[in-house]
Amino acid sequence: MNPQPKIDEIDVKILEALLRDARCNFAEIAKKCNLSITAIAQRYKRLKKAGVITGTTLIANLENPRGDGTLLVDIIAEADYENTIMRALKKLPGVLNCCSVIGKYDIHAAIRVCSLEQIDNVSNALKKVRGVLKIELTGCTDKLEFYPENILKTSSG
C-alpha cells in the first residue's frame, strides 16, 4: 500500500480548482497559484502517480484497512415511527451516534464503515424497517482526497 502523499497548500489549490471545474487548464491554475504551468503540471503528475487523482476524478477510498469511513444517514420517518427506526439503527454495527433532529429529516446517524459493501448493508437494512419513508446517505472519510476543501491544518513537529 502506498503511503499517503504529502499534500501542501498549492496541491490543495490544484485539487480545489479541479473539483470546481475538472476541465480547468494548468495555465488558469498556475495564475491562481503564482507558479509556472510546468510546476503545476509536475504537481499534477505527482498527485496522479500517488493515486490522489485518477484523470480528474478524486478517489473516495472507503476500502481502507483503517476503517475510517463514516456514513452519515438522514431519514424521513413516518409519524410515530421515529423510536422504532432509532432502535433498529442502533443495532447496526459501527453506529457512532443516532438522534432525533428537527428540520428536513427526522433522524440523523453516523456509522463507521470501511467498505462500500457495508454501506449497501446499512441501506438495505434500513429499507426493511417499518416507518422509513426516505433515506439519504452521505459517505465521508478522514482523508484529504474526499473533501479537500475541508482540510484540517495541523502544525508539524
Q: E strands within the chain?
A: 53-54, 57-58, 69-77, 95-100, 107-113, 132-141
Which triple of cell numbers denotes residue 157? Answer: 513537529
23 belongs to a structural domain:
yes
153 belongs to a structural domain:
no
Give the whole-angstrom CA distance, residue 45 versus residue 16: 16
Q: What is the pLDDT along the chain (157 residues), one digit of tens a residue?
A: 456 678 888 988 888 888 777 778 899 999 989 999 999 999 988 888 887 776 654 444 444 444 567 888 999 999 999 999 999 999 998 888 889 998 899 999 988 887 788 888 999 999 999 999 999 998 876 543 333 333 333 334 3
Are 34 and 84 within one domain? no
Q: State pTM to two decimals.
A: 0.49
List the CATH number of the domain containing 106: 3.30.70.920
